[in-house]
Structure 1
Amino acid sequence: MSQPMMAAGFVTALLDYVSDRGASREQLLTACGLKAEDLSDQDNRVPVTAYQALIGAAIEATGDTAILLRHTLESRLETMSVVGQIVHSSASLAHSIQQLNRYLHLMAENEGLTGQDRFELLEAVGEVWIVDHLPVFGPDYIGLEASFARFISEFRRSFPDQTFALEMDVTYPPPPHVAEYPDLFQVPVRFGTTRNALRIDPVWISEDTEFEPGNAYAFGVFTRHADALLAELGRSDTIRARIEAQILPDLHAGSLSMDKVARALGMSRQTLYRRLKEEGVTFAEIHDDLRHRMARDYLTARKVSVNETAYLLGFSEASSFVRAFRRWTGQSPTAFRDRAA
């Protein structure tokens, strides 16, 4: 399991938006661990964790917990990613959702989806829903509300005279900025439901409702570029990613054998050491970083205790896990878990 990456265009757009509102651009970049050159091209790949850190820094700098939601409603997807260009040159809503699912990883990789499309266009009992199947835990709701805001804002902007969204169901509880939902979303929202879904006007799945014609050429240009980017991502299978895939099932075992991993990868220990040196990382660093990321995932989901998390990560004692977590994050596992709640 390699570190999830995403398109730099989304980071740049949010960075610009928050900076325009008085926040220090340099401080925001420092907070997310990126440099200006990392954002020189919207197709560059940056860690998803960097974007998450930027969101947190943006909220702290502005005091606005709805800053990402506000940014999403006021921005255009086509300025951040080629996927936006593809969506806008699609033939219909169903076609655009197919493209979103096809090119999802160009925007952002997510480990929560396993063999399932993220978005589903569902028709039932005379109603039409766009269902988002991405699991949402703790503060992840910020990304989900931005996802639905993207659908609403793009259609609101492109078809100002036609109704698109009718209501929303979300699994998360009311956020701190819930009082602003009526003004921002302009549709009723039900919290704590069993799924995340946006109900839309049925006219959008009618055979008579198509997007602006004449975009077939542009659609082909953009999809060829996107396909090339996907192919490039497929070729970027690092030795780090292969090692993480090998050690993840045995993470609870604690001490892991580099020799065993090398054999599983079909190479000698010396070859594995050389490949790691070429990527500028050590086996111990990969193990430690994977423990760190999995610890955050377990504690954010709040489905296991701190002691159980320590066991799942292979720590012989909970106290050792607490010390490691303080080293990773500067806070205790309990404090992190409570804050995520």
Structure 2
Amino acid sequence: MGQLLLNNVQKFYGDYEVLKGVQLEVKNGEFVVFVGPSGCGKSTLLRMIAGLDATTAGDIVINGVRVNDLPPVKRGIAMVFQSYALYPHMTVFENIAFPLRVEKMEEAKLKAKVENAARILHLDQRLQQKPGMLSGGQRQRVAIGRAIVREPKIFLFDEPLSNLDAALRADMRIELAKLHRQLKATMIYVTHDQVEAMTMADRIVVLDAGNISQTGAPLELYHKPANQFVAGFIGNPKMNFLPVTCKGVSASGVEVDYLGQTALLPVTPRDSMAGKTLTLGIRPEHIQLNGGDIVFTVTPTVIERLGANTVAYASLNGEAENFCAMLPGSVGIRPDTPVATGINAADCHLFDEEGIAFERRVELTEIDMNVINPTAA
């Protein structure tokens, strides 16, 4: 059982406030991922939960017990770091067994725990080898095995896959997802890689400059970002933003103008909006060739052909130099050759002058809704 409550947690380094009153509850068995740009405080928050950094203010509560003043070993947590932190002179068995030897566990019980962890992580044929004989992915599994044998209430992962190549990262994402389902353990995972966040998390926590900008299931953040920061951070390639003018509102939504073209966006309107400059957001994957509620011409400057998709970075009306469109892989576009594209109002997001999102009236599929709110399925 591993429940975590962060109650108005703050962290100062001198006069610099790194975390600004973080409030978060993690339920037993959840896989929660912290994401955000460099310097947003995600790793600091993880280290504070682990007890490696002191809390300036607020409470960290694990299973109903305030742990602010407890050392790491007393908190019932296990942490896996970015660096494997393995002892090169020890075998895989001894590396995994190390925390149990510190606890002076009897040998028979220790051996059973290590062998069970090795079996879960497919390391049972490697127990007598040393780290230098293992691949990067196998070394990371050893580090995870060292955490598993402690049977912690909460697993903490600090960018554990960032030292691996792309293929190994993909493999380890799958292994970690399987491990979570098998152990049914509470896991908190820090990453800068949103692919890891979107594919592994039950819930994502987006941090921005020491504040939680939004929490939610991956598809919830994708379809309904709370603000422009989250909209631009979740999704790859990132969302495009265009300045538009509000022409009026109705029960059906908000009518906006973009370079003389009007479109009715299906969002919940607010009072006194006419004439205001707003921001329209459109994801690259929702750009289409020819036609749409709003049409425009882009001039590709860089084209990335990925097989199934073609990603084009372009200038748009001489304004957005890095406007991005994700198009079918078969399209025959070329650099410096204008292309007619368009967008549909139903795919658009809308943000006010302060970057707060208007609520979208999107029709999500039954699959989307079950993923966003599994308890409703």
Which bin holds the TM-score, normalised by the shorter protein?
under 0.3
- Pick the structure with greater CA Rg: 2
Counting strand residues as a fraction of each chain, which structure ranks higher? 2
Counting helix residues as a fraction of each chain, which structure ranks higher? 1
Query: TM-score when scaled to structure 1?
Result: 0.27
